[in-house]
Chain A
Amino acid sequence: MHDLSLTRRHLLSALGLGAGGAALAACTGPVSADQNAADSTSNLRPEMRQAALGDIPSKYADRTNILFWAPWTGGLFEAVSELFTMFNDSQSDIYAAIESVGGYADLNTAFTAALQAKTVPDLVCFPELQWLQFYFAGALTPLDEHFDDDWNLDAYLQNYVGEGKAGEETYVVPFARSTPLFYYNKTLFSDLGLPVDTQYTWSQLRELGSEIATVQSSGQPVKTFAYSGADGWYASSWLWAFDGEWSDGLTVMPDEAPIHELMTFANEWVHVDGTAYMAQAAHTDFQTGLVAAVHGSTASMRGLTEAVDFELGAAYMPGEVNQPPLVPTGGSGFSLVRTESQERQDATAELLKFLGSPEMSGWWHIHSGYVPIVEAAREEPEVVALHEEDPNFTVAIEQLENARTVAPVNWFQSGVSALEQALSAITGDDGDVQAAIDTLRGEYEDVIADNRDDLEALGIS
């Protein structure tokens, strides 16, 4: 006769057995290599189902439903939602649902989790070259088969097209693309008789520091420039101005002299002159008049223009050895997710075709501040009118000819983080420049080592 009464020891044994089973289960990867490798040449992945769409408005019922996970909130999300509404109202076959998942980092996390759960959106929008990690995982499908005479890469600004290609195949079409700009308090500069609407150099700005500091704001001298803890993207332009490279192909910091010069400059501007500083919230300080100049994305122009109560100036990024310097391409583009459904992929391509029209590209430019990514959008009457009314938008477009892809080591978030830490050590802390460079070199080399195979597969050497 069995005694079924449960003792503490039995319970613990049961828990241990359960845990052991869980551990064994855990030994199996979440997705087996075979599963993923199967039929990897196809643009379909039968196991990848569509994530939840939410409620579908009755007027859009009985259509092919597609889902976009948007990496925006606030005004940008409202603007892109309006574009989607225009698309949904423009035809009767497709319903494009849009869902905000937060920012770019949130999208990365959410999409990663979605791949593990095998419930994915049909369309994603990753910044710069972040799509590569998902391309190597076989999560994206080429767009080329959907191109035709009406919609193809020729329509887009060519500076941004190459970043979306792997070999001969296109995995990204540009959408919310940007470059950094130099924003300054034009009213303050004009009042002090300082040059405006010009190509600044970093040295020139540093020299202006003492004059700008004669003006008080909130009981303290106005600073000239605000660095921040997240300047990794802008630092590409800084170094191009000083005629250097963070990496040349797989070679990390091929010439250390310009980097040393750049970092010493930033360090002395903050900790010797004291007219630049490391800001907690640079744009907030700029809006409140505490600092005379900041850098920001072209996408910040709309928000800054509305937020400041002085005349906003926008200029090319400051130069130094090189004037004007190259500027990094930024922002994001659309990628088609490799799902189970050819029908949904075709429908998503129709959406991209709609968004890639000059009219929609111009509308998005006007309402977001991102560059008009379709060449012909610049001729749209509303865009022409906007640029006549506010020449700052024209500056953003004219600088596009200097836009380049960042160095390969900064394609990876770990590389950008390492760079930002090194710059923080110089501008936030009064750190030793050479020590910061040495640390950065080590971390950069780790980034390259970790991603060497992938980079070589893309032809980087």
Chain B
Amino acid sequence: MAVLLPAVRRPRATTRATAGKVPRRRSAQRTRRTLREGLLFWALIAPNLTAIVVFGYYPTLYNFVLSFTEWDFVQPAPVLVGLENYLELFQPGSMLMEALSNTALFVLVAVVGTLVGGLAIGMLLAQRLPFTGLVRTMAFAPHMLPGAAIGVLWLFMFDPNYGLSRWLFGLLGMDSPHWTTTSDFSLWAIIIAYAWQRLGFVAIIYYTAILDLPKDVYEAAALDGARGWQLFRYLTVPLLSPVTFFLVVTGIIAAAQTFDIIATLTGGGPGTSSTTLPWMIYDQAFVDFNIGTSAATATVMFVLLLIVTLVQTRLANKQVHYS
């Protein structure tokens, strides 16, 4: 498209100054060419545009409409109830409040934890120590696994009777926490499993970014006497800020949408102790069949993620250094 559009407007050199039929013919040719290019443009963009409208815009808007209705999926048609679903959602002590709180904690710890851990691993990998290639592959491997598999794997590791957790805590002379069956630990269980899955991805992104950092800047700083922590604090961190920004944005969105690990590890429980927004949306829609409530929750989540992303973008314009 970028190639096609300028061509339409490109001024054409006219060698003949004669008036009459020639300019009209050129005009007709230009119109046909423009039409042809326009059709080509629409033909090229139509598949993607159709997919975006059908699978992106339409469900989002339909969800918004459903959020003002009461429906159980089975009755012939949704019934309009106005703002009732939203008013119920925002009542003090409602499930939404707990889901929001759980989601915020989950996202905060998961994103910060993977950023810090990923940066540390990325820097270690960049030292080109022995077996770096092997470690890099192993670190990235969990990211290739589906979330459901991660959940099942950690279900065994967390088992207080015969899991890795029992052995680990046994070394310290302690009993393993009941990770998935008590409210005190259930959210932490899914945070740990999720962070383990994402850590390798973050580490590899940081690793490749670190390799691309400009060496001359470091050499100049070293000549000025900068060392160790100073180089990291005043050069590495700012220079990595575009990558960090990318990882924060994608990390928040990915963490906020986590579903499969929760489904296999805790099912949102015990009680609602590990219920996050995506799980609440599923639970309301496909367990309780409160489609209106589920749609209203999805709308709240959509708006929240939109706000977070906008704020991040604004901050990025001020804080991220691209050169």
Contact = CB atoms under 8 A, between A and B. Distances in A.
A29 B76 contact: yes
A421 B271 contact: yes
A105 B74 contact: no
Contacts of A414: 287-290
A4 B57 contact: no
Contacts of B61: 19, 22-23, 26
Interface range on chain B (Cβ under 8 Å from partner): 35 or more
B77 interface: yes
A25 interface: yes
Interface in A109-132: 109, 112, 115-116
Given A22-B62, A417-B287, A32 B77 contact: yes
A375 interface: no
A220 B161 CA distance: 8
A409 B65 CA distance: 30
A27 interface: yes
B241 interface: no
Interface string B27-66: 1000100110110010000000100110001100110110
Interface in B142-166: 155, 158-162
Contacts of A26: 58, 61-62, 64-65
Contacts of A279: 181
A347 to B, nearest CB: 25
Contact of B76 (A3, A15, A137): A137
Interface string B279-322: 00001001111100000000000000000000000000000000
Contact of B181 (A22, A27, A220, A229): A229
A5 B183 contact: no
Given A220-B161, A288-B162, A15 B77 contact: no
Given A280-B180, A417-B287, A137 B74 contact: yes
A19 B5 CA distance: 25
B8 interface: yes
B260 interface: no
B212 to A, nearest CB: 31
B90 interface: no
A250 to B, nearest CB: 19
A13 to B, nearest CB: 13
B72 interface: yes
A33 B5 contact: no
A144 interface: no
Given A23-B61, A421-B272, A428-B270, A134 B74 contact: yes
Nearest to A138: B76
B38 to A, nearest CB: 4
A115 B38 contact: no
Contacts of A420: 269
A218 B61 CA distance: 55
Contacts of B5: 5-7
Given A32-B77, A109-B286, A290-B161, A424 B271 contact: yes
A5 B53 contact: no
Interface residues of A, number: 54
A22 B53 contact: yes
B161 A18 contact: no
A399 to B, nearest CB: 29
B127 interface: no
A32 B76 contact: yes
Contacts of A155: none
Contacts of B213: none
B269 to A, nearest CB: 5
A18 B57 contact: yes
A429 B184 contact: yes
Given A229-B267, A428-B270, A280 B159 contact: yes
A32 B78 CA distance: 9
B29 to A, nearest CB: 13
A193 interface: no
B75 interface: yes
A6 B41 contact: yes
Nearest to A451: B72
A421 B270 contact: yes
B286 A105 contact: yes
Interface string A395-433: 000000000000000000110010011001100110000
Contact of B58 (A25, A27, A138, A424): A25
A108 B285 CA distance: 12
B24 to A, nearest CB: 11
B287 A429 contact: no
Contact of A37 (B41, B76, B272, B288): B76
B178 interface: yes
A31 interface: yes
Contact of A280 (B62, B74, B78, B155): B155
A15 B181 contact: no
A285 interface: yes
Nearest to A116: B73
A228 to B, nearest CB: 8
B269 A229 contact: yes
Contacts of A30: 77
B76 A278 contact: no
B222 interface: no
A33 B71 CA distance: 13
B173 to A, nearest CB: 14
A1 interface: yes
Contact of A112 (B74, B267, B287): B74
Contacts of A6: 1, 5, 38, 41
A437 B51 CA distance: 49
Contacts of B159: 280-281
B9 interface: yes
A133 B57 contact: no
Interface in B114-131: none
Interface in A249-308: 277-281, 285, 288, 290
A36 interface: yes
Interface of A: 1, 3-7, 15, 18-19, 22-23, 25-27, 29-33, 35-37, 105, 108-109, 112, 115-116, 133-134, 136-139, 218, 220, 229, 277-281, 285, 288, 290, 413-414, 417, 420-421, 424-425, 428-429
Nearest first, the 4 A-B pairs at minimum CB distance are A29-B77, A424-B270, A36-B76, A26-B62
Given A32-B77, A421-B272, 10 more contacts: A4-B35, A5-B5, A5-B37, A22-B57, A22-B62, A31-B77, A36-B76, A413-B288, A421-B269, A425-B271
9 contacts: A5-B34, A6-B38, A19-B53, A22-B61, A26-B64, A36-B77, A105-B287, A280-B159, A421-B270
